[in-house]
């Protein structure tokens, strides 16, 4: 039998290589290959195929009871998890340093410890540091079990003796190391081996395991992608450290819905739940400013209203700048091209700045219509209706397409006091049932993006049509065409 040789493993993606090289062929990263000793192979009869026990195959018909849940007492965290922690499951929590991962997990573990056995193992902080955080959060009297260790053998031996543990938090998995491996802590092989052993122990003992993971500068979880496949749920903590809002997002959940979010506010007493994030995101909105529109979005099962802000300024020369915060920059470029080609807006010579207020990141295409309204409002210097919400997907030909859960979006808008909504027009053939408008909410259905631009164009022409005495400075980039129809752009020389 050939002798096992050491291999070189990429610390960014986990791809193995037979020899060292400067660039990983799998992910393209430079100087990420590290030498690792080969993993021991099983010996004896167990290594031969067919030496294991025979599996029992069952049919698809049958009924299983829903999994039991360990409620944390934090409604927003329980919402993201699907109702609470499932015994025997593994949850991976990632986020930027200082975003609040340790804070929320300490709060959740302390609340679980009020009724069941909960353990918190820290590999990054000393016992006194964790106690100081607990004192600041008002959790010093909680019966939470606390330990600080990085050796996997010590941690596994201690957890094996805990017969009644319901929740175990490991902060963080990158600090744990196994002495049988030659690689350093935090490498691919160490993270993979330590996580696999802790997950095996959690499923054998029946306690819920929470692993805290670091993130890279690109915002993804550090270590191999296989770590995300090993766990049952993956949660990301989003937000700016200089901003008080924190968003916990589920990107994978075997026991609940994905893309569910929980909204928290960072205070001196820790993270506080935000039961109505729409009102919080719109609290500082001014409705009489151009370049602002309210988007009726959907995050998981929860409708959320957020403000979309756009700002246009003449480019000083060279390539115009496109700066986007909280939205897809590629989708903004597509929407700008549609507005220019289908509606005649001249935006190519302007710097475009787009921001989703409140720190929330929007991924669904239903935000196209709200972004378009903000851009047209900024281009014409005419504010949108402060009592209007927008949602709808925009195609390359300018058509406005239907989106899911329209009634839930409308109910959220009506609950917060909005009076009107601009949404896609229902098609006559095969369009399905029209969304039911709540009482007091007026629906404006449009089928093309030009229908959105037309009211702004009319408002921009009205001061000049009133006569010279009422003339106002013409808005940038919008003027009626000579032959009528949709507004066309006027390119002014600078």
Laid out side by side, the sheet with 350-356 consists of 322-325, 350-356, 302-314, 292-299, 388-390, 420-424, 442-446
Pair (392, 316) in one structural domain: yes
Pair (110, 164) in one structural domain: yes
CA distance 299 to 278: 11
The reported pLDDT for the residue numbered 46 is 46
Burial code (b: 16+ CB inside 10 Å, e: under 16) for 150-170 equals: bebeebbebbeeeeebbbbbb
Give me the CATH number covering residue 440.
3.30.230.10
Which of 230, 247, 275 corresponds to the end of one domain?
275
The reported pLDDT for the residue numbered 353 is 96
Pair (409, 289) in one structural domain: yes
Pair (104, 252) in one structural domain: yes
Is the residue at 101 inside a domain? yes
Pair (198, 264) in one structural domain: yes
488 Ramachandran zone, left/alpha/beta (phi>0; psi -120 to 50): beta
Tell whether 95 is in a known binding site: yes
Is the residue at 304 inside a domain? yes
Pair (99, 198) in one structural domain: yes
Pair (158, 258) in one structural domain: yes
Tell whether 145 is in a known binding site: no
Is the residue at 300 inside a domain? yes
CA distance 310 to 345: 15
Is the residue at 324 inside a domain? yes
Q: Which of 20, 25, 24 is nearest to 8 (CA)?
A: 20
Tell whether 323 is in a known binding site: no
Chain segment 58-85, per-residue pLDDT in tens? 888 887 777 789 999 999 999 999 999 9
The reported pLDDT for the residue numbered 186 is 82
Tell whether 432 is in a known binding site: no
Is the residue at 473 inside a domain? no
Tell whether 155 is in a known binding site: no
Tell whether 50 is in a known binding site: no
Average pLDDT over residues 10-22: 84
pTM, rounded to two decimals:
0.75
- % the chain with pLDDT above 70: 85
Dig out the tokens for 477 from the structure: 């980039």
Would you give the distance in Å from CA 339 to the centre of its chain? 28
Tell whether 477 is in a known binding site: no
Looking up tokens 């589920």, which residue turns up?
Answer: 250
Dig out the tokens for 119 from the structure: 């353990």
Chain segment 127-172, per-residue pLDDT in tens? 999 999 999 999 999 999 999 999 999 999 999 999 899 999 999 8
Is the residue at 58 inside a domain? no
Pair (361, 341) in one structural domain: yes
Helix (H) or strand (E) holding 23: none
Pair (289, 261) in one structural domain: no
Is the residue at 102 inside a domain? yes
Pair (33, 107) in one structural domain: no
Pair (439, 330) in one structural domain: yes
Give me the CATH number covering residue 129.
3.40.50.300
Tell whether 96 is in a known binding site: yes
Number of domains in the chain: 3
Chain segment 416-447, per-residue pLDDT in tens? 999 999 999 986 445 556 677 788 899 999 99
Parent domain of 330: 285-427+435-455
Tell how strand 270-273 and strand 261-267 pair up. antiparallel
Which of 218, 250, 275 corresponds to the end of one domain?
275
Which of 255, 275, 295 corresponds to the end of one domain?
275
Chain segment 289-337, per-residue pLDDT in tens? 899 999 999 988 889 999 999 999 988 877 899 999 999 999 999 999 9
Pair (422, 333) in one structural domain: yes
Chain segment 342-377, per-residue pLDDT in tens? 998 888 889 999 999 888 889 899 999 999 999 999
* Neighbouring C-alpha atoms within 13 Å toward the C-beta of 184: 4
Task: Reduce the DSSP state of residue 469 to 3 states and report it.
Answer: helix
Is the residue at 491 inside a domain? no
Average pLDDT over residues 99-103: 91
Average pLDDT over residues 104-118: 96
């Amino acid at each position: 039998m050939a002798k096992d040789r050491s291999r070189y493993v990429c610390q960014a993606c986990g791809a193995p290589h037979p020899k060292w090289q400067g660039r990983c062929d799998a992910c393209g990263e430079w100087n990420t290959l590290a030498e690792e000793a080969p993993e021991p192979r099983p010996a004896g009869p167990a290594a031969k195929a067919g030496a294991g026990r025979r599996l029992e195959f069952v049919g698809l018909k049958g009924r299983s009871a829903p999994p039991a849940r360990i409620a944390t007492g934090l409604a927003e965290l329980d919402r993201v998890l699907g109702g609470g922690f499932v015994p025997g499951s593994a949850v991976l929590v990632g986020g930027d340093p200082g975003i609040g991962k340790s804070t929320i997990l300490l709060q959740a573990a302390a609340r679980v410890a009020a009724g069941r056995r909960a353990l918190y193992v820290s590999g990054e902080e000393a016992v006194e540091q964790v106690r100081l955080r607990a004192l600041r959060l008002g959790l010093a009297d909680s019966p939470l079990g606390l330990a600080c260790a990085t050796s996997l053998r010590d941690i596994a031996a201690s957890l094996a003796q805990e017969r009644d543990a319901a929740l175990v938090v490991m902060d963080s998995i990158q600090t744990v190391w196994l002495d049988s491996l030659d690689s350093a802590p935090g490498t691919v092989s160490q993270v993979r081996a330590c996580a696999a052993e802790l997950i095996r122990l959690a499923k054998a003992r029946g306690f819920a395991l929470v692993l805290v993971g670091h993130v890279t500068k690109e915002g993804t979880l550090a270590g191999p992608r296989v770590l995300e496949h090993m766990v049952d749920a993956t949660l990301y903590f989003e937000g700016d450290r200089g901003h008080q809002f924190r968003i916990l997002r589920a990107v994978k959940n075997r026991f609940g819905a994905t893309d569910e979010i929980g909204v928290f506010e960072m205070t001196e007493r820790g993270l506080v739940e935000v039961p109505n994030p729409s009102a919080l995101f719109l609290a500082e909105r001014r409705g009489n400013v151009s370049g602002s529109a309210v988007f009726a979005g959907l995050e998981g099962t929860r409708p959320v209203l957020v403000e979309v802000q756009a700002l246009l300024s003449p480019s000083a020369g060279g390539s115009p700048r496109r700066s986007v915060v909280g939205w897809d920059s590629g989708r903004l470029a597509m929407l700008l091209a549609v507005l220019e080609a289908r509606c005649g807006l001249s935006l190519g010579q302007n710097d475009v700045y787009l921001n989703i207020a409140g720190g929330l990141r929007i991924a669904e295409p239903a935000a196209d219509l709200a972004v378009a309204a903000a851009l047209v409002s900024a281009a014409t210097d005419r504010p949108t209706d402060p009592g209007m919400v927008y949602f709808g997907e925009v195609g390359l030909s300018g058509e406005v397409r239907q989106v899911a859960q329209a009634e839930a979006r409308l109910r959220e808008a009506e609950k917060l006091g909005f009076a009107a909504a601009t949404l896609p027009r229902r098609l006559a053939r095969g369009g399905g049932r029209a969304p039911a408008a709540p009482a007091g909410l007026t629906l404006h259905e449009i089928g093309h993006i030009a229908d959105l631009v037309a009211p702004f164009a009319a408002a921009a022409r009205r001061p000049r049509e009133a006569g010279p005495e009422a003339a106002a400075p013409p808005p940038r980039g919008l003027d009626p065409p000579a032959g009528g129809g949709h507004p066309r752009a006027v390119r002014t020389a600078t």
